[in-house]
Structure 1
């Protein structure tokens, strides 16, 4: 960030905190909740299989985790159905200190998929890959995820510590963030060597993705966290020059708050060519509302490119997030590694 912009940002934080402290002498935290907005509470049914409806469609379940031993991973199940001739894929990518350690991609016939339309339960070739449940005693979602392949396997449990939400996009498709933040435990096996792991994870689910979505240019997506806050954000590029920013702020063991789109500023810098496309290597996201002040820079550490379904360009970033989140006068620092993505349809 340019020195002038950084100075303005720091001064803005100081001014913002001063104003808020004068309004709330005790510095009490805002109780985050969903107000009149475009997002709603999530249920287990929302994370079930929504396919076998209108054709064509794309649907996927996505999980990622940043582990305490320096490893990170992304895994998921994708379903593509065009005129009743569908395929199912699983993807698992393991990273060691943000560098690709191994990448596995498996493809199956649609008939190999058995997925419940009531709860998040997904089987492939008779093996359960995803099972989600609700822990009523602790009011949280719990997911068990298992993927096995010849080189590796993962068996992880994601235990939610934030309230999930869902949003229907302007194109009619749905984005459900069931686990904005979760505690992750389990095992990873690589070449017959098994290690116990723990860390922090995320899970979302997209469905109803049809031809209207592919008319978009693409999108950016990511998350950033401080001690008690988690920010899930996206920048939908309806065209190369027009965007729709989205941001939801979760508090740990609490609720969520949608940030108005017209108060979100997203910018990219350090553009370079990768796989014949212009891609950025530095990102910044900011907002100022009645209750929230946020400025976060994301500096790229590594980039991993993938072609999806033969026509989608996809870049997965590991980024170092640094910045500040202020909620009703309570300020926390953002400083850590996060995973984000850039997807382009053209």
Structure 2
């Protein structure tokens, strides 16, 4: 198996991107102790869901679910399990004997994620519309079809929209040497734009922007943080501008959800993007993340 140290934040070296394989998205059980995550977004009309599987080494698995309407959380829940099985060949995870995530490849990548609890249940299906990419620090499928159903408080929500998936590895030393990151995307029918700022500290950072259609291209574009507000004791950005290399976008937060996690402060944004991508006028509602490590 290829050893892919998919660390979302390291030393801000240059990025070399290449095509991901299905094996890259499997569990990296050969690595030293680490935390590994599989993250999915689904957006359909006013509803959106984020589902994340976190493996804490080989000791425990945590399921995290946030379900939103117009960017406002209807449900936010996490649960830890100690009985799980994860494949190191393909993206496959079962918890307490029940399949939670499975991916098969047949020209495209098809993911099925499912979960059932007393609070919320769902079956969601994701299929890539653009190819996935990887670097030594990241793996992502930036544009996917997302459909299925969510059962919450006796109501069934049909999902038929767009999705996103990424997979990361975190090491326990990262909060002590890195500040955090911000990333977002603009997902359209056949193209997407992924952007990120990786922060070594308050003064040193590295930005990158990737345009995906039938392939993917790293753009010579600039990311600007335009306005800020205080949220949970931190000054956080709330609007952004991306420009250069055929891109001219303004991005504004429409809702912000703060999530407190061990060693991490995390804000999930629902955002509205407007402008031009490669000469085409666009308007899009998407999800953006802002994460700060907090070792103490």
Q: Do Structure 1 and Structure 2 share a fold, with TM-score over 0.5?
A: yes
Q: Which residue of 2 aligns with 1:176?
A: 139
Calculate the aligned-residue CA RMSD, in Å: 1.8
CA contact (8 A) 1:155 1:188 kept: yes
Q: Distance in 2 between matches of 1:237 and 1:219?
A: 6
Q: Which residue of 1 aligns with 2:8?
A: none
Q: Distance in 2 between matches of 1:314 and 1:97?
A: 19
Q: Which residue of 2 aligns with 1:23?
A: none
Q: Which residue of 2 aligns with 1:159?
A: 127
Q: Distance in 2 between matches of 1:227 and 1:113?
A: 35
1:242 to 204, 224, 228: 204
Give the strand-richer structure, 1 or 2: 2
Cα displacement string for residues 189-224 of structure 1 (whole angstroms, at most 9, x for unaligned residues): 012332332110001101254424652111001101
Q: Which residue of 2 aligns with 1:311?
A: 263
Cα displacement string for residues 172-204 of structure 1 (whole angstroms, at most 9, x for unaligned residues): xxx111x21111111110123323321100011
Residues 10-89 of structure 1 aligned to structure 2 (within 5 Å) = 38-51=16-29, 53-55=31-33, 57-68=34-45, 70-81=46-57, 86-89=59-62
With the length of structure 1 as denominator, give the TM-score of the two structures. 0.77
1:52 positional shift: 5.3
CA contact (8 A) 1:50 1:208 kept: no
1:105 to 78, 90, 98: 78
1:311 positional shift: 1.1
Q: Secondary structure at the match of 1:280?
A: strand
Give the helix-richer structure, 1 or 2: 1
Aligned length: 281
Q: Which residue of 2 aligns with 1:333?
A: 281
Q: Distance in 2 between matches of 1:305 and 1:91?
A: 14
Cα displacement string for residues 62-121 of structure 1 (whole angstroms, at most 9, x for unaligned residues): 0001113x101101101223xx7x432111111011111111111122xx1200000000
CA contact (8 A) 1:131 1:145 kept: yes
Residues 166-205 of structure 1 aligned to structure 2 (within 5 Å) = 166-169=134-137, 175-177=138-140, 179-205=141-167
Which stretch shifts more, 336-345 or 208-217? 208-217
Q: Which residue of 2 aligns with 1:301?
A: 254
CA contact (8 A) 1:132 1:141 kept: yes
1:141 to 97, 109, 127: 109
Q: Which residue of 1 aligns with 2:169?
A: 207
1:42 positional shift: 0.9
Cα displacement string for residues 276-298 of structure 1 (whole angstroms, at most 9, x for unaligned residues): 1111111122232xxxx102111
Residues 213-224 of structure 1 aligned to structure 2 (within 5 Å) = 214-224=176-186
Q: Which residue of 2 aligns with 1:9?
A: none
- Shift of the 213–50 alpha-carbon distance from structure 1 to 2, 3 Å rule, reads farther
CA contact (8 A) 2:15 2:136 kept: no
With the length of structure 2 as denominator, give the TM-score of the two structures. 0.90
Cα displacement string for residues 283-340 of structure 1 (whole angstroms, at most 9, x for unaligned residues): 122232xxxx1021111100001112x11000000000111111xxxx2122011100
1:247 positional shift: 1.6
Structure 2 unpaired stretches of 5+: 1-13
Q: Distance in 1 between matches of 2:66 and 2:176?
A: 25
Point out the structure with max Rg over C-alpha: 1
Structure 1's consecutive aligned runs of 4 or more residues displaced over 6 angstroms after TM superposition are none
Structure 1 unpaired stretches of 5+: 1-35, 170-174
Q: Secondary structure at the match of 2:135?
A: strand
